[in-house]
Chains A and B, each alone.
Chain A
Amino acid sequence: MSAAEDQADVERVLAGDIAAFEAIVRRWQRPLINLAYRFCRDRGRAEDMAQEAFLRAYRSLATWRRDAAFSTWLFAIAANLYRSELRRIPAATVSLEAVAEPQDTRAIDGGLEDEDRDRAVRRAVYALPPKYREALVLFYFHDMDLAATAQSLGLREGTVKARLFRGREMLRGKLPRLLSASGLEVSG
């Protein structure tokens, strides 16, 4: 995804060409919907929240300062909106037992077992308290660096670092129970 394309489209929208915003939506719809889905675990609601995030971005497009990447600015708007939406109407709580999936019956070799374990770990993220889950989702699932994660969540880098550490510790603590529920074993 090109930062130059984003900037050019933003300039066109600000100059009055509303249609240029469509390119921005096309470019960012998938990350924003998936971010929303990872926050609320509801497909329909995720699209509604992502639409509202795009609308909010459109309204405040003129406030984007070019010193931050457009993606970071957009994610900050979206994360902020999603968090306040979930404070208003909380997402269904996911228990650790609910996130554990039965082992793939085709898992006759180690490769598939590792894959199952990785998937179980990723699903366990959704059972974490929101503040740890949000940091882990942005940092790992959306491949952001520490600075971008911090900017997106409106937090200091040190706070994000601490939340990532604590989130990983919680995951590690939950892992044996999660893997035994999935019929897998803890390795390493």
Chain B
Amino acid sequence: MKALCWEGKKEVRVRNVPDPRILNPRDAIVRITSTAICGSDLHLYNGRVPGMQAGDILGHEFMGEVVEVGRAVSNLKAGDRVVVPFPISCGACNPCSKGRFAACDNSNPEPEFTEILLGHPGAGIFGYTKLHGAYAGGQAEYARVPFADVGPLKVPDTLSDEQVLFLSDIFPTDYEAAENCGIEHGDTVAVWGCGPVGQFAIRSCFMMGAERVIAIDRHATRLRTAELAGAETINYEDTDDLVELLKELTAGRGPERCIDAVGMEAHGTSIYGKIERAKQALKLELDNATVLRQAIQACGKGGTVSVPGVYVGFIDKFPFGALFGKGLTLRGGQCNVHKHMPALLERIERGEINPPEIITHRASLSDAPEMYDLFEEGKDECLKVVLRP
């Protein structure tokens, strides 16, 4: 089959590789009909996340048709149309039983590696380094899906691929990020990052009753897309002091809830943002925490900072004094996608949200290398890329 393989920093290539096969009784094989590039794929593309090996197949946002099931899978059959959640979860361990599917105890074949970095290993993830099990990803024609009796969600033929594909990751991720905020009546939510993650977060915040959402980015087109969802917008390149501006917009209170939908590769116009990027380039630190620091500084007293943006390791100069002094709550983590998929599918069916509106580019899998470059550089107003194998 054809599959997009990581070859090194800023180098991805479509290769002919063997078809996947059933390796365990609870596996299924899915013929992929649509697959997307995620913003967190760009962290891999840019060589920021340890644990990639040349030849690894990328991709964790995919869906398609079941073509084969292992002998222990009885809920799916060949022909079923499914969306596959990006965490791989057994459904039986303590974390899974409590709905924390992204913390599954049993889906990482080499948890020792992740345990060194995190203290405890998390779930396996498709196409996302040895830290998450080194599973082959879904930017390919076929994928092997472990624990297929737990993960894949059957979707009706009345909905197009583009309407349901984002149930695999970004819609649940941002829904959970908004949920983690604990939005209360009258709240203002500030969302850093108007990429696909931020766009769904904005929409999710309004679904959960936010009074106002203030969206922050530097790309004009992304800010316009945020405005379509009802957000007020700030281009952070137009201000010297984002924290003060947010206070001004909220009559001195600061936003009660802050969402960091940017993660480890933050940009930033300040000298400290530049220092962070230099430290990353020199491998003195894994994560650039410019946005996280800003969110903590900006958040109103007693508020919540919710972090769907991906971080990997350690960050310098964490403003823990601000978090403690203001009595903030900090929540983050990989999304427990399985928990949210059925309810969010219903919202799509009811027309409460229109996921395809964030898609800007559609291409074939063979065009993936060009699409990665487009997405990373923000060329051609690229916001979200969907590939067809």
* A is bound by B: no
Chain A residues within CB distance 8 Å of chain B: none
